Structure 1
Amino acid sequence: MTDVSELVAELHDELRATEELPVDRTAGRWIGEAQAVAADVAEGDPPESVVRERVGHVRRLLSEVDDAGDEEATERVERARDLAEQILDRIEN
């Protein structure tokens, strides 16, 4: 079973991977902010309460992205959303 810190690192990696893709400008702002927040918790060993708060924020930011303007980027955003849900489920259970 993957632990929360590995899931957070994977979340950050999915968002970082969109940097090289032709993402829609508006979607790019949401994704970029989500990536910055994910990076904040992917580095170091923050307390669970901080991870919960920040990953919840990532989830809210990514909810603003319907279509990233690039198929691969959209798939990565969807994967990041799924990862955020998994992280929050693990922390809350």
Structure 2
Amino acid sequence: MTDNDSDRAHVAELARHLEATSELPIERSSSRVLGEAEAVARDAAVSDLEDEIVRERVETVRDLLDELEGVDHEEARAHVEAAVEHCDVVLGNANGTGGDAGT
């Protein structure tokens, strides 16, 4: 599997984790941020975009997730943590320092 294939797999998992938060009872401001992050991640996962654009989308998602001041719902928090890990792997690969985070 090439880095590109690996990155695409991580982006798909990133979108899946964020999508999983959409039906959970989460505080409104966190839900808004997660919804925006999910939309950007889904676009990166399903659109036929150049690798650099995908990485830019993932960076946007990572920035949005950094805005969260904590997620009270345990399951949602686990999905957010996994999403952050997938972002970091993709962004690490973009910098030539990545590897598989095991998720």
- Give the TM interval when normalised to the shorter protein: over 0.9
8 Å CA contact 1:38–1:58 kept in 2: the answer is yes
Does 1 or 2 have the higher relative contact order (CA < 8 Å, sep 6+)?
1
Aligned residue in 2 for 1:88: 91
Which letter does structure 1 place at the counterpart of 2:17?
A: E
Q: Which runs of 5+ in 2 are unaligned?
A: 97-103
Q: Does 1:10 align with 2:13?
A: yes
Larger Rg: 2
- What are the superposed Cα offsets for residues 39-60 of structure 1, whole Å, 9 maximum, x if unpaired? 1110033111101111000000
Among 43, 46, 53, the alignment partner of 2:46 is 43
Q: Does 1:72 align with 2:75?
A: yes
Q: Which runs of 5+ in 1 are unaligned?
A: none
Aligned residue in 1 for 2:64: 61
8 Å CA contact 1:48–1:91 kept in 2: the answer is no
TM-score, normalised with respect to structure 1? 0.92
Task: For residue 63 of structure 1, give the secondary structure of its aligned residue in structure 2.
Answer: helix
TM-score, normalised with respect to structure 2? 0.84
Identity of aligned residues (%): 42
Q: Runs of 4 or more off by more than 4 Å in structure 1?
A: none
How far did 1:64 drift?
1.0
Q: Distance in 2 between matches of 1:42 and 1:16?
A: 12
- Looking at secondary structure, tell me which structure has more helix per residue: 1
Q: Distance in 1 between matches of 2:68 and 2:54?
A: 22
